[in-house]
């Protein structure tokens, strides 16, 4: 018989970014370290996680089914749509290191002018990678996903209109972790393993 307590409904969530190589929390209820910064509001669409696999099948003479089925590559992606415009999201969307951005301070005299950030884009050599932390929260339960090294592999069109905020749709791909560590780790509260 099913148990409705096992149904996950992601009613809220957060995304955090840190430099690659940062240390992740050791449990789903432990606070994120000081390296991790909150990436801001996410649209109600929430998180879309996908796992794609490329496989190779080996046949044998006289056999009508493959004798070996090997996974060649697994690609994990995480899609989020962010509402806020921040330096970090601009860096990820346009693939520009924040160190390559310039901030011009506001002035009040002689002619008032607002602060602004400026940067150029277009170089494929300037890639931005982060450690990505994700929390999906549902009725007091938590699914924490930690991606040791992630890059933006796809971007939605950036729309500027009076109908909605200028949102940043980013799809992150999990990359090989530094030092051979696990590229993606999951913590999910209140899921028990069967007794052997």
> Could you tell me if residue 94 is inside a domain?
yes
Note whether residue 151 is domain-resident.
yes
Domain count, the chain: 1
Q: How confident is the model at residue 92 (pLDDT cuts 50, 70, 90)?
A: very high
Tell me, yes or no, whether 118 lies in a domain: yes
**Region 151-172: what's the mean pLDDT?**
94
pLDDT interval class at 2 (50, 70, 90): confident
C-beta separation of 150 from 172 below 8 A: yes
* Pairwise CA distance, residues 139 & 189, whole Å: 11
Would 95 be classed as within a structural domain?
A: yes
If you average pLDDT over every residue of the chain, what do you get?
A: 93
The whole-number pLDDT of residue 73 equals 87
- Is 179 domain-assigned? yes
**The whole model's pTM is what?**
0.89
Residue 196 lies in a domain: no
For the segment 68-96, the average pLDDT, to the nearest whole number, is 94
Instruction: Spell out the residues 6+ positions from residue 117 whose beta carbon is closer than 8 angstroms to its own.
Output: 87, 90, 101, 102, 103, 104
**What is the CA 190 to chain-centroid distance, rounded?**
23
Domain containing 164: what range? 13-20+37-55+67-188
What CATH number did the domain enclosing 131 receive?
A: 2.30.110
Query: 3 lies in a domain?
Result: no
Given a cut of 80, whether residue 123 has pLDDT beyond it is: no
Report DSSP letters for 134-153, one per residue: EEEEETTEEEEEEEEEEEEE
Q: pLDDT tens digits for 61-80?
A: 999 999 999 988 889 999 99
């Amino acid at each position: 018989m099913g148990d409705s307590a096992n149904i996950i409904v992601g009613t809220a969530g957060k995304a955090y970014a840190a430099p690659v190589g940062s240390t992740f929390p050791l449990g789903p209820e432990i606070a994120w370290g000081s390296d991790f910064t909150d990436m801001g509001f996410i649209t109600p669409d929430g998180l879309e996680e996908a796992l794609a696999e490329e496989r190779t099948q080996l046949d044998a003479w006289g056999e009508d089914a493959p004798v070996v089925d090997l996974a060649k590559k697994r690609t994990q992606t995480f899609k989020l749509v962010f509402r806020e415009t921040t330096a970090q999201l601009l860096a990820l969307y346009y693939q520009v290191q924040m160190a390559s951005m310039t901030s011009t301070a506001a002035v009040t005299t002689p002619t008032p002018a607002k602060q602004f950030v400026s940067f150029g884009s277009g170089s494929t050599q300037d890639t931005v990678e982060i450690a990505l932390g994700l929390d999906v929260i549902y009725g007091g339960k938590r699914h924490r996903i930690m991606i040791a090294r992630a890059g933006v592999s796809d971007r939605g069109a950036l729309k500027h209109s009076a109908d909605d905020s200028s949102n940043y749709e980013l799809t992150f791909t999990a990359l090989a972790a530094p030092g051979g560590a696990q590229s993606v780790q999951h913590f999910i509260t209140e899921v028990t393993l069967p007794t052997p």
